[in-house]
Every structure is written in structure tokens, then in C-alpha cells.
Structure 1
Amino acid sequence: MLKPVLRVVEAGGRTVDDPTEEALHDLLSEMNLSHRFVILERLDLEPVDQHYMQVHLNDDLSYQVEYREGSADKHYQAHVPRLHEVFGPEESTAKVMMDWAHDRQGWREALPWTPMPFQ
């Protein structure tokens, strides 16, 4: 059996190994003020647990999207405002996450990334 390359975890504890873009979009669309985050991890990169992209639902129903590439100085964030009255992330959020996970071109330009402040 092959080990998974990707794992998505949602706030309620549900995990999906090697999710499709559709499965990831479904998890993102299920986010609410009780289940505020979805994390997509790359399991094939070192250091373990330091290569991920996550989406967090803010109180104003906008989204904080972050990615990390191994170390604190490679941790970035982008704010995605709520654009519609319909609740749920834009479809493009799942696409950006899957493009990041599969090293496809264009994901870095898809959102206005800024470095995360060191804590």
C-alpha cells in the first residue's frame, strides 16, 4: 500500500488522504463558526508537519489563508474577503490549495501573500 502524499484535516477531526479538488472544496464549503479551519498537509516533505496550507474562517466570514514551506521565515498569509451573500469559500480557494499541493504554476500569484509576523 502506498503512503498518502496529501492529507486534509478539518476542525471536527475528519481527515481525508490524497483528497481530490472536489473533496477539498466540499470540506471548505462545510466550514462554519463551529468548524473554522481546514488544513491541507504535504506528507512527503521534511520537516514533517511544516509544509501545509490552511484556511481559517474569521468572525466576519472572511478567510485567512496561510501556507508554510518548512520554516517560520517561509510562512505566508492572505486575506480573502467574503464576496457574496452565499456563505462559503470561493471555488478558487480549493484550486489554489490543490495547485500548491501539486506544485502547479500560478498559485503564488492567485492571492496577495504577505509574510507572517514571527511570534
Structure 2
Amino acid sequence: MLIATSANGHVVKRPSKPAIGTMLANLRRGNEHMVLERQEEDREGDWYIQVLFRDNNTYQLEYRDGVPAEHYQTQTVSQEKVHTALIGWATGKPDWREGFMWNNIGDMFTPEA
């Protein structure tokens, strides 16, 4: 099941494309965020995409593919590109990552050996 959560804790189960767009458009500058999370009984790990609207008018977009080592981040000034990525991720489109330079930041979330 897809779950969308806003910075103030508002939760929408199975959000529609318009609901996702509204949540993104309602982000206020200053480190406000939203998360789309995929929760399925037969899928282990954390599967989500999140966006943070920073003070400098940039969107910090991150996603995790199951495990901390597979956590990626990028930034953009384009709300439209973020919206396209969120909808693409939510609907399982294989090309949703295109148009961004992704950095693997998984080492920030994995313990040192």
C-alpha cells in the first residue's frame, strides 16, 4: 500500500496523483517535507521517496530501495521535476529517476564495520 505523510503528520493512504501534487504544492520553504512510502507484507525493508523544501528554494529529493546502503539524494529547483519523480515512483514507472544526478548517501545510514 502506498502511504503519503506530510510534515505535520497528515497521512493519506493510497493517495491519488492529484493528492500527491497538492501535498507537494503545499510544502512551505524552510525544511518542510513529505514522504511517500510503499508498505507491503511481502516486501522487507524501507521503500520510500521523500522531498524536503529547503530555505534556499531548492527541493532535496531522496529515495531508499529497501536497505540503508541503497539511499540516494539529489537537489533541484524544479517543482515540476519533483512532481514527475514522485508520481513516477508511486506508479512504478522505470524511468522516474531520469533527469537527476543521484548521489548514493547510504554510508550516512549504515554503521561502520
TM-score, length-scaled by structure 1 = 0.80
Q: Percent identity over the alignment?
A: 29
Q: Which residue of 1 aligns with 2:44?
A: 46
Cα pair 1:12 1:35 within 8 Å, conserved = no
Aligned mates of 1:46, 1:117 — CA distance in 2: 17
Q: What is the deviation of 1:34?
A: 5.9
* Matching of residue 98 in structure 1 with residue 87 in structure 2: yes
Q: What is the deviation of 1:101?
A: 2.3
Provide the secondary structure at the position in 2 that maps to 1:93. Answer: helix
**RMSD over equivalenced CA pairs, Å:** 1.7
Which residue of the other structure, out of 89, 92, 104, is the alignment partner of 1:115? 104
Q: Which residue of 2 aligns with 1:68?
A: 64
Provide the secondary structure at the position in 2 that maps to 1:96. Answer: helix
Provide the secondary structure at the position in 2 that maps to 1:118. Answer: helix
TM-score, length-scaled by structure 2 = 0.84
Unaligned runs of 5+ in 2: 109-113
Q: Which residue of 1 aligns with 2:29?
A: 33
Q: What is the deviation of 1:35?
A: 6.8
Cα pair 1:96 1:110 within 8 Å, conserved = no
Aligned length: 106
Deviates more, 1:20-29 or 1:98-107: 98-107
Aligned mates of 1:24, 1:8 — CA distance in 2: 7
Moved over 3 A (4+): none
Aligned mates of 1:54, 1:110 — CA distance in 2: 17
Cα 1:80–1:41 change in 2 (3 A) is same
Letter of the aligned partner of 1:98 in structure 2? I
Letter of the aligned partner of 2:83 in structure 1? A
Q: What is the deviation of 1:80?
A: 0.8
